[in-house]
């Protein structure tokens, strides 16, 4: 984005801010008689200057998730409630059939102590458990990241490898295929069984089906009467 584009972006931003400030002032002047709409400024997809998210049509992005900047989400993938994917200083790429579960954070590295630049690349049919943190790392196809695991810059999780729940994987660690690592810092624990490896693809398929259900329910409009009940409902007093 050039100088003129940045200037136009800034002017547009302040016009919108001014409009919202005027709405708040008008509401105060109307006192108890104004009609208050329950609006949220949250945006599920957001550009950062000229960087815009690219999300496949059949991917599910929960309404409370945030996908920001240079982020690509492949077909059949799902980004669940409360997730943040911030591709502002580098890119994030997510393959097909992958699920990023609730409250997980995916970010990238523009620079770090070794001076390396790391995007985040997540392959096909990957499961990323709730509240995981992935930062400037690579997760190959059909890998499994446990809940609250943290992957730092330069980490590579190979295909059919697993990071245990709560693990902290240090910078530039490579986790070989067929192994499970856990602990803080993460270390090799054991080899995975064939049954466990087969479960990784099954987990991704299950989440893909579940995402279709959530996508359908989220697309259903509120009935007009129900909508009015929600926005006009007054809170009950704490003391009767």
pLDDT in tens, 42-98: 889 999 988 999 999 999 999 999 999 999 999 999 999 999 999 999 999 999 999
Burial 163-186 (b: 16+ CB within 10 A, else e): bbebbbbebebebeebbbbbeeeb
CATH code (residue 122)? 2.160.10.10
Does residue 164 form part of some domain?
yes
- In the prediction, which pLDDT does 37 show? 60
Does residue 103 form part of some domain?
yes
Domain that holds residue 78: 45-195
Domain count, the chain: 1
Does residue 23 form part of some domain?
no
Cβ neighbors of 203 (< 8 A, separation 6 or more) are 99, 127, 144
Mean pLDDT, the chain, integer: 89
Does residue 52 form part of some domain?
yes
pLDDT in tens, 6-23: 888 888 888 888 887 887
**pTM: predicted TM-score of the whole model, two decimal places:** 0.77
pLDDT in tens, 125-136: 999 999 999 999
Separation between Cα atoms, residue 96 and residue 57, nearest integer Å? 12
Please compute the mean of the pLDDT values over residues 138-166 and round it to a whole number: 97
Separation between Cα atoms, residue 127 and residue 71, nearest integer Å? 18
Does residue 104 form part of some domain?
yes
Please compute the mean of the pLDDT values over residues 143-169 and round it to a whole number: 97
């Amino acid at each position: 984005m050039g100088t003129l584009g940045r200037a136009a972006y800034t002017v547009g931003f302040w016009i919108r801010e001014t409009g919202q400030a005027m709405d708040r002032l008008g509401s105060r002047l109307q006192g108890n008689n104004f009609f208050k709409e329950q609006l949220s400024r949250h945006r599920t997809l957001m550009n950062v200057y000229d960087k815009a998210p690219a999300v496949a049509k059949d991917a599910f992005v929960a309404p409370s998730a945030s996908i920001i900047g240079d982020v690509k989400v492949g077909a059949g993938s799902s980004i669940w409630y409360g997730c943040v994917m911030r591709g502002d200083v580098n890119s994030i790429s997510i393959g097909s059939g992958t699920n990023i579960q609730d409250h997980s954070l995916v970010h990238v590295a523009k620079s770090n102590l070794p001076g390396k630049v790391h995007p985040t690349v997540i392959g096909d049919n990957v499961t990323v458990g709730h509240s995981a943190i992935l930062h400037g790392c690579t997760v190959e196809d059909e890998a499994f990241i446990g809940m609250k695991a943290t992957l730092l810059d330069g980490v590579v999780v190979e295909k059919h490898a697993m990071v245990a729940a709560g693990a902290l994987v240090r910078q530039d660690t490579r986790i070989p295929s067929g192994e499970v690592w856990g602990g803080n810092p993460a270390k090799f624990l054991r080899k995975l069984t064939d049954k466990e490896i087969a479960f990784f693809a099954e987990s991704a398929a299950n989440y893909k089906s579940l995402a279709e259900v959530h996508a359908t329910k989220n697309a259903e409009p509120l009935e007009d009467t129900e909508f009015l009940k929600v926005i006009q409902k007054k809170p009950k007093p704490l003391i009767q």
